[in-house]
Amino acid sequence: MNRYVWPLVAVMALLVFLVMGLRHGDPRALPSPFIGKPAPQFELPTLKNPEVTIGTNTMAGDYSLVNVWATWCVMCRAEHPFLLELAAKKAIPIYGINWRDSRLEAIRWLDDLGDPYLASAYDEDGRVGIDWGVYGAPETFLLDPAGTVIYKHLGPLDAVIWQREFVSRMSGGGQAQ
């Protein structure tokens, strides 16, 4: 009888790991290697005015959101009203990175739907997107006043996620990080 105990234990252990793997949640949501590190440096022309540039330095000094978006991104349209709401409440400065998009279409999108961004960087060839480890818009990074990435959310932002994942990480909005 005893000889069956160890194989049984081994199989049970394997099962536990399998179930843990299955319950991992969204398999597309990968842990960002940037959490706790300074936001990648960049300098890009803004979407609306190619002569003005925007970069990581622009964002320092306060908590800020960096939202990666594009007009071809369906879920960006879904989260857009919530970004407008945040901007209207002046909850946090929001910067955009317009990723792999057409400038004209992107400007038209902001004119039609409203512009929640203080400014959007225009990343035409996706080079900055790669530096930020972007792999699926929309992606939203939360930066602390020192410019450190403290959270990244993949997929559309909404009020529930905002409260649970973002507000709680900002000091003054719950427990300090």
Partner 1 sequence: MKRLFVILATLLLVSTAFAIDQGKRFDDPEMQARYEKLISEVRCLQCQNQSIKDSNVTLAADLRREIARMIEEGQTDEDIAEFLVVRYGEFALYSPRKTGKTLILWVVPFLLVLFGGYALMRVVKHRMSLPIGDDTEQEG
- Bridge partners of 69, per DSSP, are 98
Interaction pattern, residues 82-121, with partner 1; x per rule: CB under 8 A: ------------------x---------------------
Quick one: which of 85, 131, 158, 165 contacts partner 1 (CB under 8 A)?
A: 131
- Bridge partners of 66, per DSSP, are 95, 141
Question: Shortest Cβ distance from residue 167 to partner 1 (Å)?
Answer: 26
Quick one: which of 16, 130, 146, 159 contacts partner 1 (CB under 8 A)?
A: 130
Interaction pattern, residues 12-51, with partner 1; x per rule: CB under 8 A: ---------------xx-xxxx------------------
Q: Parallel, antiparallel, or unpaired for β 139-143 and 64-69? A: antiparallel
Q: Whole-angstrom Cα distance, residue 154 to residue 160?
A: 14
Quick one: which of 42, 132, 141, 151 contacts partner 1 (CB under 8 A)?
A: 132
Residue 162 in tokens: 């905002």
Shorter beta-carbon distance to partner 1: residue 112 or 125: 125
In a 13 Å sphere around the CA of 11, the CA atoms on its Cβ side amount to: 5
Q: How far is CA 16 from CA 9, 12, 22, 26, 64, in A?
A: 11, 6, 10, 19, 40
Is the backbone of residue 89 left (phi > 0), alpha (psi -120 to 50) or beta? alpha
Shorter beta-carbon distance to partner 1: residue 48 or 100: 100
Shorter beta-carbon distance to partner 1: residue 15 or 52: 15
Residues that bind partner 1 (CB under 8 A): 1, 27-28, 30-33, 100, 125-127, 129-136
